[in-house]
Amino acid sequence: MLYQKCVFLDRDGVLNRERGDYTYRLDDFEVLPRVPEALALLKNNGYLLIVVTNQGGIAKGLFTKTDVLACHQKLQLSCNNLIDGLYYAPSHPDYSESLSRKPDSLMLERAMAKYTIDPAKSWMVGDSLRDLDAAEKAGVKAILVGDKYEAGTYPMQVNDLWEAAQVIVGKRG
C-alpha cells in the first residue's frame, strides 16, 4: 500500500485572516497573502492538502454548516481548487463534546485513514497551540505560524504559510 504525505492546515489565521471572532460571512472571509502560492508549492512537491478547522460557532447557533461550506468554497476558488479535503468540527465544549475538535486529533486521524496518509511524512500548520497538540497526538510534525505567541514559544515557528511551506519542502530551516 502506498502511503501519502500530507500538510494539514488550520483555517483561520493560517489560510484566511483571523478576525478575533468567528469568520463565517463571505464578505469577511479574506484569504491571506501568498496562501495560493504556498499551497501550489506544497502540491507541486507531492503533498496532499487537508484543512482541519474548529467551527464551534455552529454549536453556539451563531452560523450554520452552510455558512462554513460557502467559506470553504470561496477558499477553494481562491486557491485554484488545490485543497484535497476540508474537515470541520462543529462542536464547542460549552455545548457539545467531540474528539474531532482540536486539540484532539480525530479530524486528522479520519483524513489519514481515508487518504492513506503516512504521519511520519506529514505536517500540521497552525496558529494555535491546540493545533500543535492535535498534530502531536496524530504523530505529525508541526509548525506554528503568525504572531499570536512570542517568538520561541514553539521550536518550529514562522511568520506565515509561505514560510512554513519553504520549511516543509526543505528550502528553509
Query: In 45-160, where does DSSP find H-type helix?
Result: 57-60, 65-78, 106-115, 129-138
- Distances 67 to 14, 35, 50, 171 between C-alpha atoms, Å: 19, 21, 19, 37
User: In the annotation, is 131 catalytic?
Assistant: no
Q: Does the active-site annotation cover 12?
A: yes
Residues with catalytic function: 10, 12
